[in-house]
Amino acid sequence: MKLTSNAKTRLSFLERAASWIGAVSLILVSLAPIPALASTAGVLDTRSVTPSSSLPAATGVTLTSVFNIGQTANVGTIKFEICDSPLAAVSCVNSGNSTGESFTSGPATTTGCTGTNAASFVLGVSGQASTANTLYMTRTSASATAGNTWTCTINAAKNPTTTNVQYYMKITTYNEGTGVAPTTVRDFGGIAMATTQQISVTANVQENLVFCVGTSGATSGTPETCGTFTGSTVTLSPNPMANGAASTGIAKMTAATNGLNGYNITYNGSSFTDTTADTITAFPVGGAVNNSATAEQFGFNLMTNTTPAVGVGATGSASGTAFGTYATANTFSYSTAGGVKIASATQPTADTLYTMAYVANVLATTKAGAYTATQTFICTGNF
Amino acid sequence: MRRWNRQLVISMALVLGISGTASGAIGDPSSTSTSYRIVEGEVGGNGQFNSTSTGGNFTFNPSADDGGSSLGENAVGNGASTSFQTKSGFDTTAQPSLTMIVNTSLVAFGALSLVTAKTATATFSVKDYTSFGYVVQIVGSPPSNGGHALAGMGSQSANSTGCSPTCASNNGVEQFGINLRLNASPAAVGADPVPIPSSAFSLSNPSVVIPLPYRTADAYRYFSGDTIASAPSSSGETDYTISFMANMSSVSPGGTYGGGMTLVATGTY
């Protein structure tokens, strides 16, 4: 085609116009907002997740997530993912540090979310049911305002299995609510978490049992110093014994232990006899003193008595106490059966100072002689 | 005509080219406004050890995780307000990071004594990036034996301060407590937080990173769930030492005491 000079002039005008259009377009486009990156997703800021346990493979873990809503919009679904990467553009997989995590092993549950506009979220079902690495909370889509602080709780999750590694939770909010596939992202945030090994703390406390018996030297200290205890013979007074008036005497013993279940004190006793095997009859169990000179009596208790006036009850701030018939004032007992329990504690206890109050009565017909009874006291710690 | 076409094609190509840039992938949780977003699409930064690009085309593998020193620099500046913060440097990474390493698995006191307090230590390290800080909580009961736990020291409510009767070691009184300081009493034990590689990159001032109940040297406390370490912003590695202290009483049940404690680190991003 042959062009005339006028035609060329028009084309030159068109060319210049096209150049200007192109240049202006470039400027306009350069100044225009970038649509895709600005598209929809806001940022969940000031976000955190606190696990109740950081132990690898721990089960029953509660994950408490706190975040601020990024942009004002309706929110119907919150997706929680445990992943190897916190980045939105990276698919959530569990082949690395997050291996072993699970929302389904429990399975995980939720108590929903708290905070302004955070009500009514429940565990997703059907198409929004939990998978190993994804848990949905859903509700009927409702408004959320930028800056609202929400706290959402997931229970019974399982931690990744590797120790001392970091892994990630990704939280995404969607417009769509219960029963609708979540597609419209509102906000997103990634959070780093870490597993750690457990610190085991051990200590040993040596078992101890303090038990001392003597006729004098007790200090009533805590702990009692057994080294101060002296004497092993109690001579009843008045001596010699006389018909119509009880003879009495005392001895002391103290006990303490750190046994978890305390201690028991028992005794093995021989008859109150003289060298020719004459025996002063033992008290019946829990018998009272008979000063009417109608019976022989021999026994003891661990109490403060008035009839006769002898002995003192257990002292000290500890929890040891006299036991059974040996714990009743003014009644006395004695047995040669062996292993007779007279005091005990049911827990670790500091020193308890006991006083054995001995009483003997004789008849006018009781044979003369030197009467002796021997008791061996045994304290058994229950650890 | 060809020139006109050429100009038109170039113009459109430039327009499309810019439009294409604008429609890049939605991705990382980075600085964002309603109109613009800054996304890091690079392989990674010094804060991201052994990082690899998504497609596997690029890797960034320093020979040691030295915080970037081997790469020539490891300084990433932090500017922050109560609501925002930025990281500036040659190689910042978009990836939030929380590294929590517990270096000690067993703390053994041995046999407790009525006259001498027993002490022991454990260490852990925390490194946190792109965050508004972190907290480290200790969770677990004091060592126990047959249902009896050593008495935790201090007022027994979360993060409370003060002790009754005392936060100090008291021989003959059953006590179990910890702190995160260098102590002189009841023995030389523990260490103050150590910044790695230096305080230029990592927080370590005890007044900043140790909550008050666990900050006072020679004073001890234990309460499960307490925060024992924290930082108000991102920090490079900080190495902490937990000092454990225990005393027994004459009625502390005999036997072997044991217990497990876990440290839970939570970063806020």
- Here the ipTM equals 0.76
Best mutation target among A21, A91, A197, A201 (most B Cβ atoms within 10 Å) is: A201
How many structural domains compose chain A?
2
DSSP for residue A230: B
Is there a single domain that holds both residue A224 and residue A140?
Answer: no
Is there a single domain that holds both residue A70 and residue A156?
Answer: yes
Q: Pick the closest to residue A41 from A190, A191, A186, A171 (CA basis).
A: A186
Is there a single domain that holds both residue A155 and residue A184?
Answer: yes
Q: From CA A69, how far away is CA A186, in angstroms rounded? A: 9
Please name the residues in contact with B26: beta carbons below 8 A apart, sequence gap of 6 or more.
A36, A37, A39, A40, A41, A88, A89, A185
In a domain, A32, yes or no: no
Asked if the Cβ–Cβ distance from A37 to B26 is below 8 Å, we say yes
Domain boundary among B68, B94, B120: B94
Q: From CA B140, how far away is CA B225, in angstroms rounded? A: 8
What local confidence, expressed as pLDDT, does residue A316 receive? 85
Extract the residue ranges of chain B whose pLDDT is less than 70.
1-94, 130
Residues of chain B contacting A222 with CB distance shorter than 8 Å: 250
How far is residue A373 CA from its own chain's centroid? 51
Q: Which residue has the tokens 């969770």?
A: B139
Is there a single domain that holds both residue A277 and residue A321?
Answer: yes
* Residue B80 host element (H or E): strand B77-80
Q: Pick the closest to residue A71 from A45, A47, A46, A42 (CA basis).
A: A42
State whether residue B16 sits within 8 Å of chain A by CB: no
What local confidence, expressed as pLDDT, does residue A41 receive? 81
Residues of chain A contacting B102 with CB distance shorter than 8 Å: 164, 196-199
Is there a single domain that holds both residue B63 and residue B154?
Answer: no
Residue numbers of the domain that contains B59: 2-94
What local confidence, expressed as pLDDT, does residue B186 receive? 97
What local confidence, expressed as pLDDT, does residue A46 receive? 92
Contact (CB, 8 A) for A301 and A311: yes
Q: Which strands sit side by side in the sheet containing A263-269, from one edge to the other?
A: A321-322, A340-345, A263-269, A375-381
Amino acid, res. B186: P
For chain A, give percent helix, strand, coil, nearest 5.
10, 40, 50
Residues of chain B contacting A202 with CB distance shorter than 8 Å: 106-109, 143, 256-258
Token readout for A83 is 């992943």
Asked if the Cβ–Cβ distance from B32 to A42 is below 8 Å, we say yes
DSSP letter string over B120-166?
EEEEEEEEEESSS-EEEEEESPPPEETTEEPPBPS-SSTT----SS-
Is there a single domain that holds both residue B249 and residue B154?
Answer: yes
Please count the other Cβ atoms lying within 10 Å of the Cβ belonging to residue A20: 11
Is there a single domain that holds both residue B124 and residue B208?
Answer: yes
State whether residue B264 sits within 8 Å of chain A by CB: yes
Q: From CA B150, how far away is CA B246, in angstroms rounded? A: 8
User: Ramachandran region of residue A233, left (φ > 0), alpha (ψ -120 to 50) or beta?
Assistant: beta
Is there a single domain that holds both residue A111 and residue A219?
Answer: no
Domain boundary among B79, B94, B109: B94
Is there a single domain that holds both residue B8 and residue B34?
Answer: yes
Q: Pick the closest to residue A359 from A288, A292, A271, A253 (CA basis).
A: A288
**pLDDT per position as a tens digit, A275-325:** 999 999 999 888 888 766 678 999 999 999 999 999 999 998 788 999 999
* Residue A266 host element (H or E): strand A263-269
What's the CATH code of the domain at B191? Answer: 2.60.40
Residue B207's SS3 state is helix
Query: Would the pTM of this model clear 0.95, i.e. be above it?
Result: no
What's the CATH code of the domain at A126? Answer: 2.60.40
What local confidence, expressed as pLDDT, does residue B97 receive? 87
**Measured distance between the N- and C-terminal CA atoms of chain A, rounded to whole angstroms:** 116
Token readout for A80 is 């929680």
Asked if the Cβ–Cβ distance from A259 to B252 is below 8 Å, we say no
Asked if the Cβ–Cβ distance from B23 to A33 is below 8 Å, we say no
Is there a single domain that holds both residue B76 and residue B138?
Answer: no
State whether residue B258 sits within 8 Å of chain A by CB: yes
Please name the residues in contact with B23: beta carbons below 8 A apart, sequence gap of 6 or more.
A34, A35, A36, A37
Q: Which residues pair with B59 in a beta bridge?
A: B52
Asked if the Cβ–Cβ distance from A22 to B34 is below 8 Å, we say no
Is there a single domain that holds both residue B170 and residue B142?
Answer: yes
Is there a single domain that holds both residue A228 and residue A366?
Answer: yes
State whether residue A7 sits within 8 Å of chain B by CB: no
Is there a single domain that holds both residue A186 and residue A214?
Answer: no
State whether residue B122 sits within 8 Å of chain A by CB: yes
Under 8 Å CB pairs connecting chains A and B tally to: 266
Q: Convert B184-209 to b/e letters by CB count within 10 Å (16 or more is b).
A: eebeebbbbbbbbeeeebbbbebebb
Is there a single domain that holds both residue A312 and residue A373?
Answer: yes
Is there a single domain that holds both residue A165 and residue A253?
Answer: no
Distance from CA of A21 to the nearest CA of B (A): 9
State whether residue A31 sits within 8 Å of chain B by CB: no
What local confidence, expressed as pLDDT, does residue B269 receive? 86
Token readout for A341 is 């329990």
Sign of the alpha-carbon torsion through A74, A77, A80, A84: negative
CB contact residues (below 8 A), chain B span 52-91, against chain A: 54, 83
Token readout for A292 is 């009417």
How far is residue A49 CA from its own chain's centroid? 24
In a domain, A17, yes or no: no
- Phi, psi torsion values for A150, nearest 5 degrees: -115, 140
Question: What number of CA atoms fall less than 13 Å from residue B90's CA on the CB side?
Answer: 8
Best mutation target among B248, B251, B256, B264 (most A Cβ atoms within 10 Å) is: B251
Q: Which residues pair with A82 in a beta bridge?
A: A169
Extract the residue ranges of chain A whose pLDDT is less than 50.
1-11, 14, 22, 24-38
Token readout for A259 is 């046994």
Token readout for A75 is 């929110």
Domain boundary among A171, A194, A217: A194
Is there a single domain that holds both residue A308 and residue A221?
Answer: yes
Asked if the Cβ–Cβ distance from A34 to B36 is below 8 Å, we say yes
What local confidence, expressed as pLDDT, does residue B161 receive? 80
Distance from CA of B120 to the nearest CA of A (A): 9
Is there a single domain that holds both residue B49 and residue B173?
Answer: no
Torsion, Cα of B156, B157, B158, B159 (10° steps): -70
Is there a single domain that holds both residue B74 and residue B133?
Answer: no
Residues of chain B contacting A62 with CB distance shorter than 8 Å: none
User: In a 10 Å sphere around its CB, with 0-12 CB exposed, 13-18 middle and 19+ buried, how is residue B147 labelled?
Assistant: exposed
Domain boundary among A194, A228, A257: A194
Is there a single domain that holds both residue B115 and residue B206?
Answer: yes
Distance from CA of A104 to the nearest CA of B (A): 22
CA separation (Å) from A112 to A116, A169, B267? 13, 17, 22
Q: From CA A345, how far away is CA A360, in angstroms rounded? A: 29
Partner-chain residue, chosen from A18, A49, A260, that has the shortest CB–CB distance to B253: A260
Question: What number of CA atoms fall less than 13 Å from residue B5's CA on the CB side?
Answer: 2
How many structural domains compose chain B?
2
Q: Pick the closest to residue A184 from A20, A73, A262 (CA basis).
A: A73
What local confidence, expressed as pLDDT, does residue B49 receive? 42
Is there a single domain that holds both residue A184 and residue A214?
Answer: no
Domain boundary among B94, B126, B145: B94
State whether residue A36 sits within 8 Å of chain B by CB: yes
Is there a single domain that holds both residue A48 and residue A97?
Answer: yes
Token readout for B118 is 């027993």
Is there a single domain that holds both residue B130 and residue B208?
Answer: yes
In a domain, A299, yes or no: yes
